Chain A
Amino acid sequence: MARAAVSRRLTWQVGQLVEARAETPTARTLVLDVPDWPGHLPGQHVDVRLTADDGYSTQRSYSIAAPADGDRVELTVQSVPDGEVSPYLTEVFAVGDQVEIRGPVGGWFVWRPADTAPVLLVAGGSGIVPLMAMVRARRAAGSRTLFRLIYSVRTPADAYYADELRRRVRDDAGLDVTYAYTRTVPDGWPGQPRRLGVADINTAGWPPDLAPACYVCGPTGFVETVADILVALGHDPRRVRTERFGPTGG
């Protein structure tokens, strides 16, 4: 494994919610204004700390959904049933409210616009978030690097950023997006709902001899399966970067 970037000391900063958007009935994008935000790379995440009025506090990590843009930090949070933090962030947290945030964290699961190798992104559910930051960073940098995104969701209604991804495929030359549905397929979809398999990754991904950079993000079982498939197809394990969302991310 290659070395990742060295970062500086991370301190807690105050972020104020300036905008919120529903992505699905259970997922919400939060745009925070964080004065003096140091910037970040697509793929990195932040720690968010919430403190109740009796002083109790708790922290969670969330991936950043958009490339660096001044003091704006954009997160997309999936509400986890019975979660402690995510139901608050998706249902209660209101424009003007503040949280503590620190980051960016993680220098391995990142894509740099200067990288020119073809990129394969494989997202399971809310694992799309850091990969969307890469898709958006590619656009923002005017990069021509070839991108393929395979996005596995339970149903069409569970897809984040669906309209934007449609636009990007139309407008961003060299970006392909392939959906897979595990529970319900859209009307007119050729095939049954199913989990991603070898044939899907082989067809919608890149051949290993192109030495693509592969990024896989989603729930643990999904990431295990996809990473194993990529290695079995002949991809160099060192070029397969993974990020897992455990079942306890609430």
Chain B
Amino acid sequence: MTPGFRGRPRSSGPKLPPGQYLTEDFPVLTAGPTPRVPVDRWEFVVTTETGQQHRWSWADLMALPAETPTVDIHCVTKWSKLGTDWVGVSLDTLLSDVETAADFAFVHSYGGYTTNLPLEDLLDGQSWIAYRYDGADLAPEHGGPARLLVPHLYFWKSAKWVRGIQLRLDDEPGFWESAGYHDYGDPWREQRYQGD
């Protein structure tokens, strides 16, 4: 197809989603400056479709049982990183007392970033509000003090500097989704852009 192109030696290493390559680094993908959010002013708010709000301060979050997921992450810019170590609170824990009939989640971040995904993709042990990475507090450029972690979808869904989740009956495209990226973003089906 591309004459003279050989590529890297084919390894028998771990299987990656189509179009992805392995990195040992942790590159950054963001659209603007890195917000600095002090933890004493940080809060996380879940708003249901009826307008009911559930709030957690940083101390509230720290008081909840933490999990230590080790997961593979896949960025739409083609890098994948395997076996990353996180500490965070499962969305199952945060949403356990939230009454909702919503099908969709619209995630807001400090700095104005947004992303959307089906609510069911946040549940059943599939997502966390993560605040530690690789044995240290999560750095601001990687979304600290806390980011959403939804490793089974492309990493732009794992909103950095997460501030809240709006539970909705209808789907509302977020920042990159409005710019032509896929509404769902399954790396194994290579759903990078609209129509993929």
Contacts and interface: CB of A to CB of B under 8 A. Distances in A.
Interface of A: 1, 3-10, 47, 49-54, 56-61, 84, 88, 92-94, 97-100, 105-109, 220, 224, 227-228, 230-231, 237-238, 240-242, 244, 246-248
Contact of A220 (B3, B21, B28, B195): B28
B5 A246 contact: no
A50 to B, nearest CB: 4
Contacts of B19: 49, 57-59
Given A92-B4, A248-B27, A241 B32 contact: yes
A57 B129 CA distance: 35
Interface string B1-27: 111111110100000000101010101
Contact of B10 (A5, A53, A56): A56
Interface residues of B, dominant DSSP: loop
A92 B79 contact: no
Contacts of B27: 220, 244, 246-248
A90 to B, nearest CB: 13
Nearest to B140: A224
Contacts, number: 141
Given A51-B1, A97-B2, A241-B31, A60 B195 contact: no
A10 B34 contact: no
A108 B156 CA distance: 14
Nearest to B8: A84
Centre residue among A54, A58, A97, A106 by max chain B CB count within 10 A:
A58
18 contacts: A6-B178, A9-B195, A49-B19, A51-B1, A52-B1, A57-B1, A88-B5, A94-B4, A99-B2, A107-B178, A224-B28, A224-B141, A228-B34, A241-B32, A244-B29, A246-B77, A247-B25, A248-B23
B179 A5 contact: yes
Contacts of B32: 1, 227, 237-238, 240-242
A109 B28 contact: no
Contacts of A242: 30-33
Given A61-B77, A61-B78, A230 B23 contact: no
Contacts of B4: 88, 92-94, 97
Interface string B164-192: 00000000000110111000000000001
CB-CB nearest 7 A-B residue pairs? A9-B195, A246-B27, A7-B180, A51-B1, A4-B179, A227-B33, A107-B179
B112 interface: yes
A52 B193 contact: no
Contact of B31 (A49, A60, A108, A248): A108
A228 to B, nearest CB: 6
Contacts of A220: 27-28, 141
Given A1-B112, A228-B34, A58 B21 contact: yes
B178 A4 contact: yes
A84 B33 contact: no
A7 B179 contact: yes
Given A100-B1, A107-B179, A7 B194 contact: yes
A196 to B, nearest CB: 15
